[in-house]
Each structure stands twice: as structure tokens, then as C-alpha cells.
């Protein structure tokens, strides 16, 4: 084995047997390759982590270019192979294919769209929503769909149960919305044992992220999940001032039970990367009925011969439409978008005229 880092240490920051299996060949090629996880991405620099300490590094330009050619980039959570040169600098020369990626698209306001990768190799997203004014089923639905599009499993964590008059009812509402297999929990993050409640998702090698609006209770939950680590962090801070370590621990938190938590500002203001076709897939009921609509690209917004409208709850249809528009806006040129919008408008007008004629 040419690995410089003991595997047990990497397991504390998410290394899994599957990943190791995928990796055996590149590692056997040369000496001095280390397997490390990306903990931070800056403009020209990276911070890698070996499970014990952070390590400043840079990515080889060839790697950056090869990724960029595929609208891809290194992100926190990536597993990489790096080596030290004779000046003691650490260079990343390979990225292992990520199992999952959370990404979003940025617009320049016109045609250009840039894809920004926010995190790689995430297993579970904790969707945090407060049972106070933050509670909103439509937003929850959007989050669920978006996370599912990224192939990441999720748990809905309804925080602030202590501030809600009827948490059981809201729990039922949220459960009714969640696809099969998605758990919904209600808790008081300040008092309940979040680590015990979330234990099934905190197994060694698991990587989690926290999503949810500002004030939902993400930091409170993060603290509850990594109580031991936070204590360790403040100890380090006292020792070496405001060094790298403090920042790194804020981004990639190893949790006491062997899982780890990624928490970055980018994830806190998330709008996910999605393709229009995938959006349809996340709404099974709509996808099942859509082939019976008269128009192949029916948006179920009042077009004649629509099989979906009327069969699906209007609110759900609205969320679907919003998500679809967002995805299409992100993947179409301005011209395509204008053409599509005028087609839809013409159909809607025709539909309304039809209806009026029928009613006499």
C-alpha cells in the first residue's frame, strides 16, 4: 500500500469501503500519493484533510481544466489524490468520481450560465424547517424534489417542536408530502437528543449536509451533532490563534460516531442544479398522467386536453411548474426561452377561449 495516511483516520471523514474498492488501481501506480478529502475550496487554493489535520494544497492546472471542460470543479467533500513535490508543496492531480454532487447554476442575467458545485459525496441531506413561522409545505416540497434530483437521501427535521401548538398535525402534513422512505422527525433541537434521533443516518463513513432557511436551527443542530468536536475546536483556537484549522473544522466536521457533516455558506443559500426532465421524474404522479395530455410538452397550466390539471392538487402543480420553469431557465438560451413562453401563452389563450365558447 502506498497510502501515506492510515485508512482508519480517513474513515472519520467519510471514507467508505466502496470508495476504497473504486480506488485500488490509481493508488498502486506510484509512490507518495495520498488520498485526502477536500475540506475547503478557495480561488486558487485548497484545504485538504487527512482525518486529523488540514493541509494547504493546490490543484494541477491540467486537472482544473479537464474538470472545467465538463462544467465540473473541485468541491468540498471530493476525494482526491495528491502528492508533495520536492519543495514540500502539495498538489492535487486526480479527483475520484463523486458519488453525488450538489450544484447550482449562476446566471449572468443573459445567456451565460455557470454551474457551481457546492459539495460532493453527500449521503444524506438534513432538511431543517422550524415549526414556527418557518414551516412551509410548498418550500419543503421543493427541497425534497431538489435533493432527490441530486440522488441524495434526506431526512426532514422539524425543529422548534416546543414552539408549536400542534406539532403532531404538522408532522402528519409533512409526512403526507414526503416520498416513500423519507423520514420526518419533530424535535426541540435545544433539548432533545438529536444524535440519538438521527443515529440511523450517522453511521461511520456517512456524509451529511444541513439545508434550510436562515434561522431554521441548522447551527443548533450542527452543534448538537458534533458537540465533542466543537469543544476540540475552541481548544485549538486558543493554541494557534485564528489559523486554518478553525476554518476547516467549520466546513468539514467529523462527528463523534464516525459520520461527518459538511457545512458551507454556499449550501446555506442553495438552489440546486437540475434538468427539466429530472424535475418531471421527481413528481411521479404528474409524470404518470402527462403522457395523456394532448400536447407532448404540456405544462398543465390551462392548455386544452390536459390530463393532469384537475387530477393533481393545484398547489402541487404550482410547485412543479415553478421548479420546471427554473430548471428550463437554467438550461435554455434566451431565444429558446422566449419562443417557448410565447407558445405556452398562445395555448393558454386558446384554452381560455375554448372554455368561454363552451360555457356560452
Contact residues for ligand GTP (CB under 6 A)? 159-160, 162-163, 188-190, 212, 214-220, 268
What is the smallest separation between the CB atom of 158 and ligand GTP, expressed in angstroms? Answer: 9
DSSP 309: B
What is the smallest separation between the CB atom of 293 and Zn ion, expressed in angstroms? Answer: 3
Cα three-residue angle 278-332-350, rounded to 5 degrees: 85
47 binds, among Zn ion, ligand GTP, none (CB under 5 to 8 A by kind): none
Q: Which three cell numbers stand for residue 215?
A: 434561522
293 binds, among ligand GTP, Zn ion, none (CB under 5 to 8 A by kind): Zn ion
Of 95-103, 226-234, 249-257, 291-299: span binding Zn ion (CB under 5 A) = 291-299
Give the Cα separation of 311 and 308 in Å (integer): 5
Contact flag: residue 293 with Zn ion (CB under 5 A): yes
State which of positions 294-333 bind Zn ion (CB under 5 A).
298, 300, 306, 308
Query: Judged by CB, which is closer to Zn ion: 232, or 287?
Result: 287
298 is in an annotated binding site: yes
Nearest residue to 294 via CA among 303, 285, 302, 286: 303
Query: Judged by CB, which is closer to Zn ion: 169, or 294?
Result: 294
Give the torsion sign (CA, 300, 301, 303, 304). positive
Give the Cα separation of 32 and 3 in Å (integer): 7
What is the smallest separation between the CB atom of 344 and Zn ion, expressed in angstroms? Answer: 11
105 binds, among ligand GTP, Zn ion, none (CB under 5 to 8 A by kind): none
Give the Cα separation of 53 and 233 in Å (integer): 12
Give the torsion sign (CA, 96, 101, 107, 113). positive
Burial 98-108 (b: 16+ CB within 10 A, else e): bbbbbbbbeee
293 is in an annotated binding site: yes
Query: Judged by CB, which is closer to ligand GTP: 27, or 197?
Result: 197
What is the smallest separation between the CB atom of 162 and ligand GTP, expressed in angstroms? Answer: 5
Nearest residue to 104 via CA among 73, 139, 62: 73
What is the smallest separation between the CB atom of 166 and ligand GTP, expressed in angstroms? Answer: 16
Query: Judged by CB, which is closer to ligand GTP: 49, or 218?
Result: 218
Q: Which three cell numbers stand for residue 194?
A: 438529536
Nearest residue to 296 via CA among 280, 313, 273: 280
213 is in an annotated binding site: yes
162 binds, among ligand GTP, Zn ion, none (CB under 5 to 8 A by kind): ligand GTP
268 binds, among Zn ion, ligand GTP, none (CB under 5 to 8 A by kind): ligand GTP
What is the smallest separation between the CB atom of 186 and ligand GTP, expressed in angstroms? Answer: 9
234 is in an annotated binding site: no
Q: Which three cell numbers stand for residue 358?
A: 363552451
Give the Cα separation of 76 and 225 in Å (integer): 19
251 is in an annotated binding site: no
Q: Which three cell numbers stand for residue 76?
A: 468540498
- H helices within 103-261, ranges in order? 137-149, 167-177, 194-197, 218-225, 227-240, 244-251
Mark the binding-site residues for GTP, compressed into ranges.
Answer: 159-162, 212-220
Q: Which residues define the annotated binding site? A: 159-162, 212-220, 293, 298, 300, 306
Binding site for Zn ion (CB under 5 A): 293, 298, 300, 306, 308
Amino acid at each position: 500500500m502506498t497510502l501515506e495516511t492510515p485508512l482508519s483516520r480517513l474513515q472519520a471523514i467519510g471514507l467508505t469501503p466502496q470508495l476504497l474498492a473504486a480506488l485500488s488501481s490509481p493508488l498502486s501506480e506510484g509512490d507518495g500519493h495520498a488520498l485526502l478529502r477536500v475540506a475547503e475550496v478557495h480561488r486558487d487554493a485548497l484545504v485538504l484533510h487527512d482525518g486529523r489535520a488540514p493541509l494547504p494544497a493546490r490543484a494541477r492546472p491540467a486537472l482544473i481544466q479537464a474538470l472545467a471542460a465538463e462544467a465540473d470543479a473541485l468541491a468540498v467533500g471530493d476525494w482526491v489524490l495528491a502528492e508533495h513535490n520536492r519543495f514540500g508543496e502539495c498538489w492535487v492531480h486526480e479527483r475520484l468520481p463523486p458519488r453525488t454532487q450538489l450544484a447550482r447554476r449562476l446566471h449572468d442575467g443573459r445567456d451565460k450560465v455557470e454551474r457551481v458545485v457546492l459539495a460532493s459525496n453527500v449521503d444524506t441531506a438534513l432538511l431543517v424547517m422550524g415549526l414556527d413561522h418557518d414551516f412551509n409545505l410548498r418550500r419543503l416540497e421543493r427541497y425534497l424534489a431538489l435533493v432527490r434530483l441530486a440522488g441524495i437521501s434526506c431526512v426532514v427535521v422539524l425543529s422548534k417542536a416546543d414552539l408549536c401548538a400542534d406539532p403532531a398535525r404538522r408532522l402528519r402534513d409533512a409526512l403526507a408530502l414526503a416520498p416513500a422512505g423519507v423520514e420526518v422527525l419533530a424535535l426541540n433541537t435545544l433539548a432533545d437528543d438529536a444524535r440519538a434521533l438521527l443515529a440511523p443516518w450517522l453511521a461511520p463513513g456517512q456524509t451529511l449536509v444541513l439545508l434550510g432557511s436562515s434561522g431554521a436551527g441548522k447551527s443548533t443542530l450542527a452543534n448538537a451533532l458534533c458537540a465533542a468536536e466543537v469543544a476540540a475546536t475552541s481548544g485549538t483556537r486558543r493554541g494557534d490563534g485564528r489559523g486554518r484549522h478553525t476554518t476547516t473544522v467549520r466546513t468539514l466536521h467529523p462527528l463523534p460516531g464516525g459520520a461527518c457533516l459538511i457545512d458551507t455558506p454556499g449550501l446555506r443559500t442553495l438552489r440546486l442544479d437540475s434538468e427539466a426532465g429530472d424535475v418531471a421524474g421527481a413528481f411521479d404522479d404528474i409524470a404518470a398522467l402527462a403522457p395523456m395530455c394532448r400536447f407532448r410538452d404540456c405544462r398543465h397550466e390551462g392548455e386544452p386536453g390536459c390530463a393532469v390539471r384537475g387530477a393533481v392538487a393545484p398547489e402541487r402543480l404550482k410547485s412543479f411548474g415553478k421548479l420546471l420553469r427554473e430548471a428550463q431557465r437554467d438550461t435554455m438560451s434566451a431565444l429558446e426561452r422566449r419562443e417557448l413562453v410565447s407558445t405556452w401563452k398562445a395555448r393558454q389563450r386558446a384554452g381560455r377561449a375554448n372554455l368561454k365558447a363552451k360555457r356560452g
